[in-house]
Amino acid sequence: MFTRPRRITRGAAAATIAALLASPLLAVPASAAEAPPEPGANPEVRGTAAQQPTDRFIVKFQDQGQASSRTRGNAYGVKARELGISVKELKVMGTGATVVETSRELEAGEAEAFVESLEATTAVEYAEPDQILQVTSLSPQDEFYHYQWPIFGENGIDANAAWDTTTGDGITVAVVDTGITRHADLDANVLPGYDMIGDPAEGRDGDGRDPDASDEGDYGESGECGTAPSSWHGTHVAGTIAAAANDQGVVGIAPGAKILPVRALAECGGWMSDIMDGVIWASGGAVPGVPANPNPAQVVNLSVGGSGGCTTSWQSAINGALGRGSIVVAAAGNDNENAAFVSPANCEHVIAVAASGRDGGLAPYSNYGDIVDVVAPGGNMDIDPLGGILSTINMGSSGPVEDFTGQDYAFYQGTSMAAPHVSATAALMLSANRTLTPATVEDILKGTTRPLPIPCGGGCGTGLIDARAAVDAAVAGGLPTPPGPGTVIVPGSVAITGNPRVGQALTAHPGTWSPAPETLTYQWLRNGEPITVDGTGKVYVLESADHDKRISVVVTGTRTGSASVSAASAQTGPIAPGELTGSTPLIRGAASYGQTLTVDAGIWTTGTAFEYRWFRDDGLLADKTGPTYAITLEDIGHRISVQAIGTKPGYDGLTKVSAQTAAVTAGSLTAPVPTVSGTTKVGYTLTANTGAWTTGTTLKYQWYRSGVPITGATGATFALTAADLGRSVSVGVTGSKPGYTTVLKYSAWSGTVVAGSLATAKPTVTGTTKVGYTLTANTGTWTSGTTFKYQWFRTGVPITGATGKTYALTAADLGKNISVGVTGSKAGYSNATVYSVRTVAVAAGTLTASKPTVSGTTRLNYTLTANTGTWTTGTTFTYQWFRTGVAITGATAKTYKLTTADLGKTMSVGVTGSKAGYNKVLSYSVRTVAVTR
């Protein structure tokens, strides 16, 4: 689900790549203007997907409070008996529904049949599978602010302009996700949250639900969901929303808002029921067994999703949140497919968010379709590693690295990253105008979007969100009335900011236009001529061609019904040459004959070209202008240095000189003492470990037996034979290379070689420990070529004749413990016998039984017959007839003749089956109709 995210840490401004894409997600369009269905209604499910195997279900009874345990048990039991399962109630949800768990995982068809059986019961209002939802699966003056293009970039959301009005003060955003970790960029804005994961093992905190929302890590260790390291997904989402503006790290879209962390996801994702309870609690609703939330969130972010339609439980949870005044934002999914099949994004009254890249187009992984409401930056790192979303994480690969020592930053991509941009923008809007309703917030968000600069053919909602425009509309209380046709656009005062030097970025500021244009386009000019390459964005990076030229920009505003209007900025002064920056070069490598020295230029301005000059002492080495230098015989006794000359068009040149090396010495082989590894037993192979010799060294081997060379033993390995028994073995390694002194190194002697022993394994016994079943001895893995003999034991006593690999349990084994001994043998090795653990006591066999039926005419003087059906072969039967449920004295035959005492009564029969070594089984027939004359 995740690839390991690469990170940015202080002092290292390198880009990092992470493919944070979730499991398949589905979605249904959110529409806050439509009235939510009443609780308990069965709204239309928008989209279907194949049901996955599951052992958890959500069941809502008609009257949850009055439904007795017997009523609930009867509802579960009908289909449970047929499927051969038991049902355990786990908890009551905030919706009033009960979460139940079956004794085994049901396949798709079984799960569907179980749900249909429950819903066919009059006591059940609805039933549905509980699902695992996953993260939408594998980012001023803050230190890394310049990497946060979604805030201020050409295809960002203009959040920095919205900060002139508000930073989100007074608003709480709930992040229902993997939890939260300590981080200096977050702690000041994090409220006490809650851990909604009910299973202590899944939660990895040992105590189930609790008031600690700390992320314990979602790393994979079971193999079921892979073995990826922890993603710190919730921390990343929280940082995008409300990382503090504190002159370090990154800043959130709404740095004045508060984060309410709700932990509901761990390894493999999270149970839908836990996530829904998280939404309910976060929005101020009541969840059984969980204390009331003292800080209800005005916005709930769900960067999660799973396949399927919007279930009744999901819609009920969202309706409740909406009714309490909370806005719900959800990711649309990362499978490059129609978002109509992603929940909860496909629920009514949810703002479904698709993702855009740095170019403003729909990201290649993002879902799309009519269900999408808006688009927000989610990143695209396929081309540019810096094109992701930079935010806060923890550096732990499994559990968190505690306190601030573990804080880190990373670029991620996904609709999981897009959704928090919308949630944070909603927080800015609510902070600017506390009277806005969820419906009005959604209308404004959709009504103030900008068209995507790259057309979206699959459905991208109303477009890319614009935080500044949304906040302006929020202050006004709603969307402005569009001006009439022919309205004249009055342009703003266009200005340019930035450092007018090659390599630096200039930013166009259009000023305030009235009325506001629907679109603004930019054209940068070089000495009055249009710049044709990368010259049509809001930001322009000065190139070498701009040196000594004057730069200006023309901004053109357009809107339907009005004539386009353009306004130009003043020209800059002549653009100054760029200033190269560069490190003092370092020489890497050993200053000895046969070695090659390499220049480490260090960190220079991107695009710098290098020329090198090598020196022996103070003398220039002719024609030595490359980044490497092979030491020659003439260099011995002298010192080497290098000069790095950096150039780039439009920049002033820069020269840096390294320090001199130590005096060059003669070459010598690196020759470690060899070691011998392996087991000193006959049948095992010893290996000579040479260590790391000088590259290109040729190695030869000679093995010794108690100091005497072994004829023909000249390889890197040596197989021990009977001749080595009781001796010690060593190896000599000779290294040679032209121009170097040949070196011979001896290993230490190994221990005395002993006789071989078989590799054994403790046998196991498989099979059902019931009379009538067969047990099998599993030997495990022994030395190749081993042969086996078996002896079965009954409570420690050998069973005569039971010497095969399998053993059929008989009546004699009833109540006894069975085990097996396995003896392995191989020529040249000592025999070995290993015993299995005893089984549990052998139980009586279980008869296969059928429900009896009664045949015959239910009239006076007619004879009824009991039909036993199919039972275990060899079963014997006894009978007892009943008159309206009361046993009839003496009526114990297979047949029964009706008498006057039976008139008006219903008849049934009980059949008892028995067989030696098996438990008796009593089964009753269904009652007949009333007996007539």
User: DSSP string spanning 828-865?
Assistant: TSB-EEEEPPPPPPBBPEE------EEES--BTT-EEE
Looking only at the bridges linking them, the beta strands covering 596-600 and 389-394 are unpaired
Residue among 23, 215, 233, 546 flagged as catalytic: 233
Phi-psi domain of 729 (left: phi exceeds 0; alpha: psi -120 through 50; beta: other):
beta
Contact in structure between 22 and 304 (CB atoms under 8 Å): yes
- How many C-beta atoms surround the C-beta of residue 74 within 10 A? 12
Give 857's contacts (C-beta < 8 A, 6+ positions apart): none
Q: How far apart are CA 558 and CA 487, in angstroms?
A: 11
Q: How far apart are CA 578 and CA 570, in angstroms?
A: 22
Q: How far apart are CA 775 and CA 768, in angstroms?
A: 7
User: 871, 846, 849: which is closest to 922 by C-alpha?
Assistant: 849
233 is catalytic: yes
Instruction: Name the token pair of 337.
Output: 């497919």
Q: Is 828 exposed, middle or buried (0-12, 13-18, 19+ CB in 10 A)?
A: exposed
User: 459, 541, 556, 559: which is closest to 500 by C-alpha?
Assistant: 541
Phi-psi domain of 868 (left: phi exceeds 0; alpha: psi -120 through 50; beta: other):
alpha
User: 469, 455, 435: which is closest to 361 by C-alpha?
Assistant: 455
Residue among 23, 117, 343, 416 flagged as catalytic: 416
Instruction: Name the token pair of 283.
Output: 């929005």
The sign of the torsion formed by the CA atoms of 528, 534, 538, 543 equals negative
Q: How far apart are CA 70 and CA 67, in angstroms?
A: 8
The sign of the torsion formed by the CA atoms of 320, 323, 328, 333 equals positive
- How many C-beta atoms surround the C-beta of residue 596 within 10 A? 12
Helix/strand/coil for 647: strand
Contact in structure between 824 and 787 (CB atoms under 8 Å): yes
Q: Is 837 exposed, middle or buried (0-12, 13-18, 19+ CB in 10 A)?
A: exposed
- CA torsion angle 359 253 141 469 (round to 10): 70
- Write a three-state SS string for 12-52: ECCCCCCCECCCCCCCCCCCCCCCCCCCCCCCCCCCCCCCC
User: 548, 557, 496, 499: which is closest to 526 by C-alpha?
Assistant: 548
CA angle 308, 310, 316 (to 5 degrees): 145
Q: How far apart are CA 578 and CA 596, in angstroms?
A: 34
Q: Is 654 exposed, middle or buried (0-12, 13-18, 19+ CB in 10 A)?
A: middle
| Cis previous bond, 344, omega within 30 | yes
Residue among 142, 158, 177, 335 flagged as catalytic: 177
Q: How far apart are CA 246 and CA 151, in angstroms?
A: 16
Looking only at the bridges linking them, the beta strands covering 495-498 and 350-356 are unpaired
Q: How far apart are CA 579 and CA 540, in angstroms?
A: 18
Q: How far apart are CA 315 and CA 308, in angstroms?
A: 13
Contact in structure between 430 and 299 (CB atoms under 8 Å): yes
177 is catalytic: yes
User: 498, 496, 480: which is closest to 555 by C-alpha?
Assistant: 496
Q: How far apart are CA 550 and CA 540, in angstroms?
A: 13
Residues identified as active-site: 177, 233, 416
